Amino acid sequence: MCFAHGIIPLALRTSLHSFLASIIKFESHNKGLTLSYLVKEIFYSIQGEGFYSGRPAIFCRFSGCNLWSGKEADREKAVCRFCDTDFVGCDRLEGGLFKTKKELAQKIEKLWPDKNIKSDRPLVVCTGGEPLLQLDAGLVSVLHENGFEVAVETNGTILPPPGIDWICVSPKAGAQLLLSSGQELKLVFPQSGAEPEKYAMLDFQHFFLQPMDSPDREINTRLALEYVLSHPQWRLSLQTHKILGIK
C-alpha cells in the first residue's frame, strides 16, 4: 500500500502510533530493558474535571501524543484539533527525562504535601498528551508501592497496562477506540463523528459530557447541559480549574 506525497489517512496514522507503542512496550518487557520517561511537568493541584473534580492530586503530564504533534502548524491535519494542552518537551515545572521508574515515582511522592496527614489515599493522575505511550506496569507498581492510587486520562487508542486504579477515557472523533471499558468516560462535546450515542453502551461506570473549550464555549456549555438534562445517564463536567484560574 502506498500513499501519494507521503500523506497517510488519519485513522491509519492513529493505528500505526498505537501499534508502534505496543511493540516498544512488548520488546522492552521481554528484553528486560529500562525505558526512560519524558515528562512535560509534574505539579500538585486539584482535579478540575469529571468524577474526582475537587480532589487533590499530583499530575504527571507525559510528553507526546499519537493524535497531534503538539505543533500549531500541524493542528489542522491532526486527528485531535481542539487540544488545549502543551505536552511538547520537558521544560515545565518538575519536568524532565527520568531514567528509572523509581526516580519518577520519588519525584511524584515528594510533591505530596504530607503523607502523615489523615486523608484519602494520595492520588496521581497520569495525563498528557497521551500517557499510555509511556506509562507501563512497572511504573504503576512502583507508584502503588509508594502508596499512591493511580489514575490515567487517555484518548483510548492504546490499551493500558494492568493495575491502574482509575481509567478515564476521552474519545476523539476520527480515532479508533480500543479501550472500551473503565471507570469514567469523559466526552468533549460537541464533536462531529463522536456523538454521545456512540459511546452510551460501553462498559464504563460514569459518563460525562464536557463542553469543548473554544470561542463557542458558552454555546457548547448550553448544548451539553441540554443533552445531559434529556439523557440523565450523562453528567456535566466543567473545567473548574479554569474557572478558578489555577493549574
Q: Is 80 among the catalytic positions?
A: yes
Q: Which of 26, 85, 91, 216 is catalytic?
A: 85
Residue 207, strand partner residues: 185, 234
Number of alpha carbons in the 13 Å side-chain half-sphere of residue 96 = 11
Q: Is 83 among the catalytic positions?
A: yes
CATH label, 9-24+33-184, candidates 3.20.20.70, 3.40.50.720, 3.40.50.170, 3.40.50.1000:
3.20.20.70
Q: Which of 171, 137, 138 is nearest to 157 (CA)?
A: 171
Whether residue 148 contacts residue 121, with contact meaning beta carbons closer than 8 Å, is answered with: yes
**Residue, of 6 and 49, whose pLDDT is higher:** 49
The pLDDT of residue 32 is 45
Q: Which of 84, 91, 145, 216 is catalytic?
A: 84
Q: Is 153 among the catalytic positions?
A: yes
Residue 166, strand partner residues: 151
| Alpha helices, DSSP H, located in 153-213 | none
Q: Is 100 among the catalytic positions?
A: no
Q: Is 60 among the catalytic positions?
A: no
Q: Which of 14, 41, 62, 65 is catalytic?
A: 65
Q: Is 59 among the catalytic positions?
A: yes
Q: Which of 17, 49, 83, 154 is catalytic?
A: 83
Q: Which of 84, 124, 86 is nearest to 105 (CA)?
A: 124
Distance CA 170, CA 183 (A): 12
Q: Which of 29, 144, 206, 241 is catalytic?
A: 241
The per-residue pLDDT for range 63-117, each reduced to its tens digit, is 999 999 999 999 999 999 989 889 999 999 999 999 999 999 999 999 999 766 6
The pLDDT of residue 14 is 43
Q: Which of 14, 41, 49, 80 is catalytic?
A: 80
Supply the mean pLDDT for the chain.
88
Domain ranges of the chain: 9-24+33-184
In the chain, at which residue ranges do the beta strands (DSSP E only) sit? 37-46, 56-62, 96-98, 123-127, 149-154, 166-169, 181-189, 203-211, 234-236
Distance CA 136, CA 36 (A): 11
Distance CA 239, CA 247 (A): 11
pTM of the model: 0.85
Q: Is 65 among the catalytic positions?
A: yes
**Does residue 220 have a pLDDT over 90?**
yes
| Locus of grid cell 470561542 | 215
In 36-122, at which residue ranges do the beta strands (DSSP E only) sit? 37-46, 56-62, 96-98
Q: Is 85 among the catalytic positions?
A: yes
